[in-house]
Structure formats: C-alpha cells, structure tokens
A = this chain, B = another copy of it.
Amino acid sequence: MEGGCAFADGGFVPLSEAKISLFDWGFTRSDATYDVVSVWQGAFFRLDAHLERFMASMAALRMQIPYDKAALRSIVHGCVRASGLQSAYVALVCTRGVPAPGVRDPRLAQNRFYAYAIPYVWIANPEKQKQGLDLYISQRTRIPASSVDPRIKNYHWLDLVQSLFEAYDGGHDTSCVLDANGHIAEGPGFNLFMVKQGVVYTPDSGVLQGISRQTVLELCARQGLSTSLEPLPMAALRAADEVFITSTAGGVMPVSRLDGQTLPHFPGPVTQRLHAAYWALHDEPGMRDPVDYKD
C-alpha cells in the first residue's frame, strides 16, 4: 500500500480508509490512548517497551481490546510489511468506542483498536539538526497530572498546539510549555533535556515518560554521564551549556536557540555523543525487531 497502511475495524486498509466514527468517545471526549514506535532500516526499535507502555496506558484508562502483546506485535508488523516502508512512524491507538444512543457511561462502550504505519516522521530532520532547533518557551502551562496523568500517552494537546502557534508566529521551530510552578515541562511530542557542566538534566515529573527519554538516560549511564531528574527552572534552561529534545519522531535532536537567542555551545559535545549513541543503539540485536517484508 502506497504511503502507508492502517489497521482498522479488524483489517488492513489504505490510509485513506483509516477513519473513526464522529461519535466515538475517542474523538468527542478525547477518551483515547496511543503509542508511537519507529521502524528504522527494516527493524522496529524497542518495540517491546512501546507495547508494554501502550498496554499500561490502556489498563490505566480501563480499556480492553481482544489483542494481547503478541497479537499487537503481529498487527504492527503487518502494517509495516503491507506498506513496504523501510523506515516508518508506527502508531497504536485505542479509543473508548461508540456509545449506544443516549448512553453516557464509559464502562458500557466497546473499546476500539487502530494502528498504522506511515513514513518516518522527524520533528527536526537531519538537515535541520545541523542548524539545531530554535525552541520557543511558551508561558502556557501543561495540563497538570491532577487533571490528566501525563504518563498515560494521550491526545490532550490544545495547550501544546497553542504554544506551537506562538512559536511559528515568532518564526521559531517548535515550542515547550511550563508546569504549574513555572518550570519547564515538555513540548509537542518530545521531552526536554539540558546539559550543564557535564551533567544531563531532565524534568522528573509532570511529563510523558518518553521511551526515547528513557533510552537517553540509559545511554548516559552506559557512557558514565551524570544525570539528574529534577524540576527544571526556566532560568536554568536559559543558562544551559546544551539543550536537546528526544522523541520517537527523530531521536535526539539538538536545540541551538532558545526564543531566538543562540546557546553558547552548539553543536554541544554531550548532545553529539548521545545522538551518535542513540543511532548506534539501533544496530544492537536486543533493540531490533526486524520486519519480514516477504509476502
């Protein structure tokens, strides 16, 4: 299937047929969870970790689907195989489902599962990474964990979308938002890191527990880099030696400017080391789950 392949209502379909009902609570209440895993040069990267997180998100939202981990693995492999894509952005989605007329009880819905494989998505592609990202720090606050648990990967993005408008209006590349205490939280689709005097910092709470974030923390441990998970004041970020973001959509991507102001060290040596280590990790057998493209 040209351009990608989706799995919807129990079968593989072209992307143009990947649709959900306007009445699915996954849309009308954003009552849904999802996960995104990458395929790089013919193999899934850390698929098991993504499947585990997706299943934990579904459990936290009390969603049930008739697919266990092996079945989910088979479905996402099927999407990639049908698409023929060697490098892909693969999503798994579970929605609450379509209620019977007049019903408001979420326990009564039959949950629905979707998946799709599309070409690999870069928040910053390799060309852009050479320049580094210009990150805009929005004053908007991320939806707090007391409202929606950020560890359950969710589509509640209007705060992030509004920060993106501000960023693009100002000519910046992307944005991040703050937590209720005014500390740095996360951006649209990525976690944030900074490096100061050789130590790698990232916010400890109130953010998605990104698998790319976790990968970077593991790579730091391997490389003997000190890490600290703690609240990240805006002033600390502005005084950082290096800043980078992490996402399944692009891996480790360097930030060269904050609100248009150039950071002192770009390209930063620690960021470069972690970037190289991130991509090298894609060759390790334990991280790879190769796709069988034969029919």
Can you report 5 A-B residue pairs in the complex whose CB atoms are below 8 A from each other?
A18-B23, A20-B22, A29-B160, A102-B119, A141-B146
Closest-CB distance, A192 to chain B (whole angstroms): 16
Which residues of chain B are within 8 angstroms of A25 by Cβ–Cβ distance? 161
| Interface members, chain A 78-115 (any B CB < 8 Å) | 93, 96, 101-102, 104-107, 114
Closest-CB distance, A13 to chain B (whole angstroms): 10
Closest-CB distance, A237 to chain B (whole angstroms): 19
Given A119-B102, A144-B144, A18 and B22 touching (CB < 8 A)? yes
Given A102-B119, A140-B146, A158 and B156 touching (CB < 8 A)? yes
| 9 A-B pairs closest in CB distance | A29-B157, A19-B19, A30-B30, A18-B22, A147-B159, A141-B146, A143-B147, A148-B158, A30-B155
Check if A29 sits within 8 Å of B122, measured CB to CB. no
**Residues of A near any B CB (own CB < 8 A):** 3, 6, 8, 15, 18-23, 25-32, 34, 61-62, 93, 96, 101-102, 104-107, 114, 116, 118-119, 121-123, 140-144, 146-148, 154-161, 164-165, 168, 174, 180, 188-189
Q: How far is the CA of A116 from the CA of B168 in the complex (A)?
A: 34
Number of this chain's copies in the complex: 2
- 9 extra A-B contacts, CB within 8 A, seeds A8-B22, A140-B147, A156-B158: A22-B114, A28-B155, A101-B118, A102-B122, A104-B188, A106-B164, A147-B159, A148-B158, A180-B180
